[in-house]
Structure formats: C-alpha cells, structure tokens
Amino acid sequence: MPETPDWAPSKQWWGREGLGKNVYEAAVERAIYVLETFEDYYVSFSAGKDSTVTLQVVLDAREAIGMKEPIKVVYFDEEIVDPATEDYVYRCIEKLPIDLRWYCIPVKQRNACSASSPDWYPWGDEVRHLWVKDIPAGATNIAENTPWYPSHDIEERRTLATLGPYFFHDWQKENYGKKTCAVFLGIRAAESMMRRRIFASQKGDWDHWLNPFSNAKWCVKAYPVFDWTDDDIWVAVRKFGWDYSQVYDQFEAMMLSKNQQRIGTPFGEEPSRSLYQWQILAPDLWDKMLDRVPGARTAALYSRTALYGKSFVGASDGTSLNDVMPTLQPGQTYRDLVRQAIESYDDAAMRTTMAKKAQRLIRRHQNSTSEPILPYTEHPRTGLSWRSLIRIIILGDVKMRHELMMVPGAAKTARLREEYDAELDRLRTEGNLDIIS
C-alpha cells in the first residue's frame, strides 16, 4: 500500500468554505442522498482504487440507513485484466453484500497503437482466436444472455461510456426506463484537468457531483468521491481496513508514481505509455496481448518515445519530436501538412473526427487573436502551433488530452511571447509568411 499521511484534512471546493467534515463523511452523505432519492441505482466498478472506495462508501451509506438488500454492482471485464485485480473481484463477490453483474461483451474500445485500426472490441466473437483469456467463471453476462446489447453487429456496438443507463435492463426488465436511476462512478477532480472540467462546469449545491446522462435523462451520474485525493483514498483504505487489488502493491514495488498506477486496458493514448508494465504484472498474458490488437508490438517498444508523440522521453536513437513531424515540401503550406496528417488515416470515421477537431482548434485560435499560427512556437494565448496541431492528429488524440495542456500558464506565457515574436520576425525576414497562412 502506498505511504500516506495520518488522515487527510477537510477539503474545500474551488475556494468555497470547507464543508466542516472530512471527505469520507461528505461522500457517505452524498451516497445516502442517492440511495434515498432515486428509485434504482448501481455502482460502476472497475476494481481500481477509485471505484473501490466508491463501493465501500456506498456500502457504508447502506449500513447507515439500515438497508437490507445488497448493493447492485456492474463490473465490465475488458478481457485484459491482471491476475491480482481479477482475484480481488472474486473476493468482493464472496465477502461483500453486493449483487455483482460481471459483463464480458464486445464494447467499442480505442486502439491508439494503430492509425489504420483505431478501434478494438474485447470479447468480439469474430476474433475469438485472439482473445487474451477465456471468459471467467464468474462472468454473469455474455453476448448470448444480454439481448439488449448488439454484440454480433460490429457497426452497432457502443462505447462503455454510453452504456451506463442500459445496464439497468438486467434488473428492471420490462420496467426499464420507467424509474429514476443513478450510477455511482469513482471519478475524481484530482485525476486530471479533463476530470476537473466535469465538475467545474456544473453549478449549484448538488450539480457538481450529480449530472444526467445525455442519452437518458431519467438516469444521473453520481460522483460521491469527486473531491478525494490519492492520499484520501489510501488513508481510508488503511483506516477502515478496506480490501483492494494487490496490483497496487506491485505498482509500488515497480516504483511507479501515483499517476502511473492505473488499472485498465493499455491500448488507448495515455494507457499505451504503460503497456510495457504488463510483462511484469501479467507475464502469462503478455505474448497474447502483443497480438491482440494491430500495432501493439510496436507500441510496446516505442509508446514512450517521440515516435508516439511522447516528447518527454526520447527514443533510444536520439529521435526528437521534430524528427517525427512531416517535412514541408516546396509549394506546401502548413495547412497542407494538417490535411496530409488527417488523410493518413485509413478509417473514414477517424478522418472526419480529426478534421473536425483541427477545424475547431484553428477557429478557436482565430477567435482569440489576429496573430498567425506559427510552425513551431505555440501562441502565448492559445498554445497552438502547426506542430502541436499536427502532433494531436498524428497521435489520434480523440479525447483531446493534449488540447487540455495547450493553454500556457502565466510563467510560460512571457517566454512564449519572446520566442513567438522571434520566429515571426524570422519568417518575415525570409519572406515565408505564405507558408503559415
């Protein structure tokens, strides 16, 4: 278990006065509100640390209000699960008062290891010969007994993020959609700027941790531990003796930072950086993982290098981020390079997605300033350069994680202004302003 302080102090919410209680007490109160307000609910459980404390908080709320029925839980098995985490799921089923539904169905997942095959489907029957493991004995819901999900129609398969309300099918049957429902999610503001935006964009006393699904207004997302930090999680685990996946002990033994300690499939943009870890965490799965999706073997070698746009780690041959950017040919402009990067995708949907995102970023820049986008230096206000835009496209950054890091802070702005002006002056002197138009 990671080292922790004795107990995290009461937290504040974006400058407001403190709640007068610690984050655990506040989380239990939120869970009680959901259990007493909504007609149906379940806990979305990944077996990671965030969903672990969310489940435990809901169980404590259940006990506090004297509920007798078990807590409903949905666990989606992404096919690639380390042994320690799978063992932990079985322990939860055995020891906790929960009604856990274990799903092994082919949802649409992101594959950032390959530009030509941007999606993959765990448990897809059409690639059964590539499955990393057999369907676990604990699985309760598979393609054959989950009629509401289009498992056998690849074009109709959905992403896990859109399925939240649909899981109520298995409990409600013919009453599906007729009750007010809530899904408990272990998402925290401290995880990333993207997660923080989820809560900062909401208003009101309750709205920052309760908001509806866009595809089912009768169902809300509930974030009872949204204001917890990593320290809060491990303090609670130690203080209350909660069980957890021992993969976190392996992470600690590997001397990984807290930001690197993540459970989940390693084929997305950010998770692909941790692909190499799996040969230690799950050596019995490693060889099959490398053949599971196109590009996985290459990503295992180079996902932390500039070849995958990760500029903070250089390739072993000294490759820099500039070296992997397209070269401007005579007669081309940087807009041409953006189009070239978009057209490099074989998948039509990815071409459309990246074109729309490129247009939005360019439009946002133009709405913010009359100054041009330069080849290399990010603009001091918008953080955009042609290089950074091409990098987003090459990475296939569909979730725009790199966009969230583009707008510079105050300290960086002054330095960028000096560098921006110098590059613009050089282009004027060389008579090359046309290439950035």
Average predicted confidence (pLDDT) for the chain: 84
For residue 18, being part of any structural domain is answered with no
Same-domain status, 345 and 201:
no
Same-domain status, 148 and 43:
yes
For residue 274, being part of any structural domain is answered with no
CATH of the domain at 95: 3.40.50.620
Same-domain status, 329 and 229:
no
Least confident window among 73-77, 95-99, 192-196, 400-404: 400-404
For residue 283, being part of any structural domain is answered with no
- Cβ contact 44:185 at 8 Å: yes
For residue 51, being part of any structural domain is answered with yes
Same-domain status, 230 and 329:
no
Share of the chain above pLDDT 70, in %: 84
DSSP string of 214-244, one letter each residue: TTEEEEEEE-TTTT--HHHHHHHHHHHT---
Structure-block tokens of residue 155: 């074009």
**Which stretches of 308-427 are assigned E, i.e. beta strand?**
none
Burial degree of 244 (CB within 10 A; 0-12, 13-18, 19+): buried
Same-domain status, 123 and 227:
yes
Same-domain status, 127 and 225:
yes
pLDDT tops 50 at residue 268: yes
For residue 17, being part of any structural domain is answered with no
For residue 378, being part of any structural domain is answered with yes
What domain count does the chain have? 2
Same-domain status, 338 and 221:
no
In sequence order, the 6+-apart residues with CB closer than 8 A to the CB of 109 are 78, 119, 120, 121, 122, 159, 160, 265, 267, 268
Going from the C-alpha of 270 to that of each of 214, 231, 303, 346, the distances in angstroms are 25, 22, 9, 22
Same-domain status, 241 and 346:
no
Pairing, β 210-213 against β 216-222: antiparallel
Q: For the chain, give the number of residues.
A: 437
Highest mean pLDDT among 126-135, 292-301, 323-332 belongs to: 126-135
Same-domain status, 347 and 237:
no
For residue 15, being part of any structural domain is answered with no
> In the predicted model, what is the mean pLDDT of residues 337-362?
88
**What is the distance between the alpha carbons of residues 186 and 367, in angstroms, rounded to a whole number?**
36
In sequence order, the 6+-apart residues with CB closer than 8 A to the CB of 27 are 53, 57, 224, 225, 228
Share of the chain above pLDDT 90, in %: 49
pTM over 0.85: no
User: Which residue type sits at 274?
Assistant: S
For residue 346, being part of any structural domain is answered with yes
What was the pLDDT predicted at 315?
38
Least confident window among 218-227, 277-286, 317-326, 338-347: 317-326
Highest mean pLDDT among 29-38, 275-284, 300-309, 400-409 belongs to: 29-38
E strand or H helix at 288, and its extent? helix 283-292
Could you give the residue ranges of the DSSP H alpha helices within 65-175?
83-95, 169-172
The strands making up 40-45's β-sheet, listed across from edge to edge, are: 141-142, 98-104, 71-76, 40-45, 181-184, 216-222, 210-213
Per residue in 7-53, pLDDT (tens digit) is 444 444 433 345 678 889 999 999 999 999 999 999 999 999 999 99
- How many angstroms separate the first and last alpha carbons of the chain? 54
What's the pLDDT band for 94 if we cut at 50, 70, 90?
very high
> Which residue range is the domain that position 158 belongs to?
23-245
Same-domain status, 28 and 142:
yes
Same-domain status, 87 and 216:
yes
Q: Which of 195, 227, 245 is the last residue of a domain?
A: 245
Q: Which of 226, 245, 264 is the last residue of a domain?
A: 245
Q: Which residues pair with 41 in a beta bridge?
A: 182
Same-domain status, 237 and 337:
no
Tally of CA atoms within 13 A in the half-sphere of 149 that contains its CB: 27
Q: Which of 245, 268, 296 is the last residue of a domain?
A: 245
Per residue in 176-213, pLDDT (tens digit) is 888 999 999 998 887 766 666 666 665 555 557 888 88
3-state secondary structure of 91: helix
